[in-house]
Amino acid sequence: MNYKMSNNKCEEGVKKVKRNRFITKTLLVLLAAVLVLSACNKGNNEAANNQNDKGNSSAEVEPTPKEEPVELVWHYPSFSGPQADLAVVQEAVNKIVKEKSMPL
């Protein structure tokens, strides 16, 4: 058996490895740049939001008109048939939703 590679094939393999390393390094640098820039951008948005919140705190809030409740239809995936405590869970969810939707 002949295990020797020709010089041409060896050089081609080295070129492919170098190209792959270059692409990998370039992608890593781009990823790092995106992460750094997105972190910088996040701080600017928070500062702007804080200024908007301070400006809106003195404004009067208009009451919203009372709306009729709506009926939500949920699908509970179950492979073993209906659950025994389904009605209890639905009542608990209804109670929580009604409490959160009631205006103060």
Task: Decide: 66 and 104 in contact? Cβ < 8 Å.
Answer: no
CB 69 within 8 A of CB 101: yes
Q: What is the pLDDT of residue 29?
A: 96
DSSP letter at 27 equals: H
Q: Is residue 78 part of a domain?
A: yes
Mean pLDDT on 18-26:
94
Mean pLDDT of the chain: 75
Domain count within the chain:
1
- Give yes or no for a contact between 101 and 67, defined as CB atoms under 8 angstroms apart: no
pTM over 0.85: no
Q: pLDDT at position 104, please?
A: 47
The answer to whether 72 and 32 have CB atoms below 8 angstroms apart is no
Is residue 53, in this structure, part of any structural domain at all? yes
Q: Does residue 1 lie within any of the structural domains?
A: no
pLDDT(65) > 60? yes
CA dist 84 → 5, 76, 94 (Å) = 71, 13, 18
Residue 43 has pLDDT above 90, yes or no: no
Question: What is the share, in percent, of the chain residues with pLDDT greater than 70?
Answer: 65
Q: Note whether residue 2 is domain-resident.
A: no
Q: What is the pLDDT of residue 42?
A: 57
**Using an 8 Å Cβ cutoff, are 76 and 39 in contact?**
no
Q: Is the pLDDT of residue 49 over 60?
A: no
